[in-house]
Amino acid sequence: MRTKSPPLSDRQFAFVAATAVAAIVPHLGHLPVPLTLLFSLIVVAAWFQRMRTHRVTPALVKLALVAVLPALVVVQYGNVFGREPGAAFACGMLALKLLETATRRDARAVICFSSFVLMSALLFDTGLLFTLALVVPILVLLATLRELETHPDGSAADHAARSPLPSLREAAVSLLIATPLALCAFVFFPRLDAPLWRTPGGDTGRTGMSDTMSPGTIQNLLVDDSPAFRVAFDGARPPAGKLYWRGPVLTDFDGGTWRRRDMPVLAPSEASVQTSGTIVRYEVALEPNDKPWLFALDVPLAAPEGARRTAEFGLIRRAPVTELLRYRVESAIDYRIDAQLSAYQRRVALALPKDFDPRSVALAQGWRRDLGADEAVMRAALALFHDKFFYTLSPPALGRDSIDDFLFSTQRGFCEHYAAAFVFLMRAAGIPARVVTGYQGGYYNSAGDYLLVRQSDAHAWSEVWLAGRGWVRIDPTAAVSPQRIELGAGAAAAAAGASLPWYQSDWVRGLRNQFDLVNRGWNSVIVQFNSLRQQNLLVPLGIPRADYRTLTALLIGTGTLLLLFGALWVMRTPRRRVDALDAAYERLCAKLSRTGVACSPQEGPLDLARRAGDRVARALLADYIGLRYASALPASEDVAGFVRGVRRWRPPASA
C-alpha cells in the first residue's frame, strides 16, 4: 500500500526553495530580462504563499502558467528547442514546481530537477571560475537532502537546529568523499567522439569576429576582455608590430556596412604567395565563439585540417567553433601576395556605392589629379589622419554619409573608422583596396610561454594593391595612434585621455593575464579531455590504445576500490567525543586534588561535595549534579556557564 509522503516543514521548504534558486542563478547571464523577472516573481510568490498565507495555488492558475511559459519562450527565442530556449524553459518549470511543493516527495523531485538545471549551466561556460562557482549550488543541494533525512521513527532530522551550518558542513564532507569517485568516472568513463552538448542554439551570448563591419561592430569587442585565443610558438615569437591575426576580409560596401564577398577557394598549390624571411610555426587554441573563422598570422601558407583558405587568405571552417579548438598553422610575416590582379578582383576592389560621401570622393580624386602616384595618394591620406584626427573608443555617431561625417566633421574614432575611411579614399582615387578584420597584438605570458589574445585586441586595417608589389598592408590607425599597435587598444585610449572601465585598468589586466595561465591549464587538462586523449591514457604503460572494454574495466576496478575505502572509512571506530560537561567536571576534580581532596573513581559528586572545603567548589559540584542528573539534555548555555565557572575557580593552597 502506498503511503502518503510527509509534509514539509517551513525550514525544509526554505532549503528546497534555496536549492531551486541556486540552480537558476548560474543561468542569469544568458536569460532575457523579462524571463528573469518572471521567474523571480514566481519564486517570491511561492515563498510568500508558503511562509505567509499557507494557501494552495489553484490548479487553474498552475495550468495557465504552464501553458504560458512555452509561449513566452517562443516569443523570446522563436522556438523551444536548442540550448538557450531549452535552458530557459527548464528554469521556468523549476520555478513553477515550487508553487506545488508541499511534501517530501515534491521536494525530492525539485532536487532532481535542480541537478539537471545546474548541469545544463555548463553548456554555456566551462571556465575554471564558473565551474568552481557551481560548488556553492551543489552544497546547497546536498544540504537540502540532509534536511529531508528522517530518523527510524519517521521524524525529520535536526529540525530543532536553527542554523544551516551543520547541514552545509555535512554536505561539504559528502562532496569531498565523492570527489575521488567523480574523478575516476571523469577519467575512465568511455567518452563519445563528439560531446553531447553540441546542440543547436544560435550565437546568442557569444562574442566573436563577424564577416560584416559597420560603425560600432568592433567597438563591442574592444570593451570585452575575455580571451579570444592563445598561441604557442615553436620558436621565437614575432615582434608586436608584426602580430596581425588575419580574419574575414571585407570587400563590399553599401554606404553603411562592409561585407565579405564569397570568393573562390585557394588550394595550397595555387597560392600566389612569395615569402621572404623566416616561416613562423605555431599552435592556436581558439575559444568557442559560434563563428566559423579561424585566425592566423598574416598570411597563412595553408589551411589547417578541417578548414579551407579563401581567395583573400582568410581561414574558414564549415561549422562554427562551438568548443575549444586547437589547430596548427604556418605563416609568413614577410611576403608578397597576388602580384597579378584579375579584372574581376580589380572591379570588386574599386567598387563604391552610388550617391554616398561626395566630399570624400572629391578629396580623393583631387589627390589623384594633383599627386598622381599611388604612393603619394597614400601618404596624403595618412598625413591627414596623423595631423587632424584622434583615437578614441567612444566616437560620435555618424550619419548616412558616414565617411564624410568622419573625415570632415567628427575626426574621432578607432580602427574600424580609419580602415573604412582609408579604403574608401583609396578606391575613390582608383587604387584597389579592401578592409581586413582580425586581431592585433596580444599579451605574452612568460610563465606559460604563450601569447594571449583577447577580444579587446580586435582590430581592422587596410590592404591596397600596388603594381609590382601586390596586396600591401597599410594600418592607418598607426598613423593616428602608434600606441595601439605596440601596446594595445586600451593603452591607446588611455594615452588619448579616455577613461577605461575598472576591469581594463592596468593592475586588473595584469592579474587577469597572470591568472590566465591557470585557465589555460584547465582548458588543456579538463575541457579538452576528449576520447582521443582518453584512449592514449595507457600509452606510458605500453598499451597503445585503451578501447571501451579496457576503460570500463578500469572504471569498475578503480571505482570498487574507492567505494571500499570509503566504506571502511565510514565504518571505522569513531573517536569518542568528549562531553563538555564531563570534561569540565574532570578538570574540577583535578583542581580539588591539588587542595588535598582526592577524587576516588568510586566516589560520586555528592560525596565529593561533602568533603570539599571550599564554598565555590561545593557550589560548582552542586551545579554539576543538577546539570548531569536533573535533566536528560542540559541547555548548552547552562553547560557553558559551568565550564566558565570551573575555568575561573582558583583553588586555595593545600594545608
Catalytic site positions? 415, 459, 475
Element (H or E) spanning 337, and its range? strand 335-337
Q: What is the DSSP-derived secondary structure letter of residue 257? A: -
Q: Where are the alpha helices (DSSP H) in 265-400?
A: 343-350, 358-371, 374-388
Q: What is the distance between the alpha carbons of residues 336 and 313, in angstroms, rounded to a whole number?
A: 12
Say if residues 20 and 94 touch (Cβ distance below 8 Å): yes
**Residue 252 to residue 587: CA distance in whole angstroms:** 90
Q: Which long-range contacts (CB under 8 A, 24 or more apart) does 340-348 make?
A: 340/272, 341/432, 341/465, 341/470, 345/311, 345/432, 346/432, 346/465, 348/251, 348/252, 348/261
Cα(361)–Cα(426) distance, rounded to whole angstroms? 9
CA angle 225, 227, 229 (to 5 degrees): 145
Max CA pair span of the chain = 122
Q: Which of 145, 173, 171 lies closest to 157, judged by CA?
A: 145
Choose among 516, 476, 483, 512: nearest CA to 498.
Answer: 483
User: 266 — phi, psi (to 5°)?
Assistant: -95, 120
DSSP 466-498: ETTTEEEEE-HHHHH-HHHHHH-HHHHHHHTTP
What CA–CA distance (Å, rounded) separates 473 from 437? 12
Cα separation of 618 and 139, whole Å?
Answer: 48
State the amino acid at position 159 in one-letter form: H
DSSP-assigned beta bridge partners for residue 313: none
Distance CA 517, CA 408 (A): 46
DSSP code per residue over 550-572: HHHHHHHHHHHHHHHHHHHHHTS
Q: Which of 410, 423, 407 is nearest to 363 (CA)?
A: 407
| Helix runs in 301-437, H state only | 343-350, 358-371, 374-388, 402-405, 415-428
Cα–Cα distance measured from residue 579 to residue 524, given in angstroms and rounded to the nearest whole number:
50
Alpha-carbon torsion (23, 26, 31, 36), positive or negative: positive
Would you state the cell numbers that stand for residue 422, as one nine-digit string? Answer: 582609408
| Joined grid coordinates for residue 529 | 579531455
Residue owning grid cell 579604403:
423
Question: Residue 41 contacts by C-beta under 8 Å, 6 or more apart in sequence?
Answer: none
118 forms bridges with which residues in the sheet? none
| Distance set, CA 88 to CA 66, 71, 80, 97 (Å) | 13, 12, 9, 14
Return the number of other C-beta atoms located less than 10 Å from residue 22's C-beta.
Answer: 20
